[in-house]
Structure formats: C-alpha cells, structure tokens
Chain A
C-alpha cells in the first residue's frame, strides 16, 4: 500500500527558507516521479515542479524558477522541496504527489501526501 508522509507544519519569517520532506513507502521508489503542488488558504491547486526519482531530473514552474529546489534521497525514500526567499503570499499547504510514471511530465498524480502547512509571517 502506497503511503506518503510529509513533515510537520512550519512557521517562517519573510526572507527565510523552508524545506518540506515527503517520505514514501509501499512501492519501488525509483520507478515514479514526484510533483509538488501548493494550495493557498481557500484557493485552488498550483503545480510547482517535478522531480524524477529515477535520474534526479527536475522541471520547475516558471513562477518558482530560482527560488525552488527539489531533491531526493533514495536511501531514505524521501523527496524534498525547498522554497527560498519566502514571502507572505507563500503561505499555503504544500503537497507532494507521486506521479503515475517516471518518464517525464505527462503523468497524473496518483497518490498525495497529507500536506504541510507553511505559514510566512513577521
């Protein structure tokens, strides 16, 4: 049974960085990619980017280019999303989502983590 468990809620000040983790279990970790999707309070879903666990390739939404990094540690079956230079409008719940495949961006999101609330406030 596939399980994705994310790290706990974070409170950050503007300008800081946050790193959210997503630990996977229940399947062959390197066979599927991950996307990160965020949802501001009361708002819709926004795709941030994608990482291939197979080879570490990444692709980020233009909006987040230069501010986001997605990495993976295959030894612990964990993928990470780091967002830098945080602003108040980065306050959101951040979700990891396991993709339906590993080979590129033409995948839907088959499994989701429980979400991590990141609050940015001075």
Chain B
C-alpha cells in the first residue's frame, strides 16, 4: 500500500497570510503513460463531507478559489492557501489514486491565528 504522510498535523495562520501543507507518498504516484501525478487534495469543514479541491496534483477543481494551489511531483506535494480566509478553516487531506487501495494522508487542521 502507498502510505501518505502529511505535515504538519495542524497549523494556525493569520487571516490573509499563507498556509502551506505538505504531503509525501511512500512511492511515486507519477504515471509515465500520461505524464500525470495521481494526487488529489480535499477540504473537509466541520460536520461536512469532504470536497475536492485539486486533482492531478495541481489542477484546481471548477469553482475552487484561485487562492488554493497544488504543486509537487513524484513523492512530494504541497497545497498552498495564499491569503487565508475565515471560511478556509477546515481539515485538508491528500490522497493518491495511483493504485489500490487508494490511500489518504492523516489530515492537516488549518485554524486562524
């Protein structure tokens, strides 16, 4: 199984500042046949279901604000929230969909400082 490790477990950021979440996979999630990274990011607000933010490591899902961006390749990935808003308080999960079982990181809790 591919193990997904997120860091930090939680972070507190001032409104308008940048939040950076890291995700490391235990093996590459890059598929050579189509040159794509099989990595997604989800946001889960308290009491709600997760929502897709980013797929293919860096493609923003329609309707997701452009302050959310994904980057990285191979085994190291980053979700950046540029200019944190109050409504961004949530848990964030990375997930690989390269192989079965599809696995998630442990989650990162983002709060307002």
**Cβ-defined contact, B55 with A108, below 8 A:** yes
Q: How far is the CA of A106 from the CA of B38 in the complex (A)?
A: 8
Q: B57 → chain A, closest Cβ, in Å?
A: 11
**Cβ-defined contact, A95 with B100, below 8 A:** no
**Cβ-defined contact, B104 with A106, below 8 A:** no
Interface size class on chain B is 20 to 34
Q: Which of B31, B104, B106, B107 contacts A47 (CB 8 A)?
A: B104
Interface size class on chain A is 20 to 34
23 A-B pairs in the complex with CB atoms less than 8 angstroms apart? A37-B50, A44-B104, A44-B106, A44-B107, A45-B42, A45-B104, A47-B104, A59-B100, A105-B99, A106-B38, A106-B97, A107-B97, A108-B55, A108-B95, A108-B97, A109-B42, A110-B52, A110-B61, A112-B49, A112-B50, A112-B51, A113-B49, A114-B49
B residues contacting A by CB (< 8 A) are 31, 38, 40, 42, 49-52, 55, 61, 93, 95, 97-107
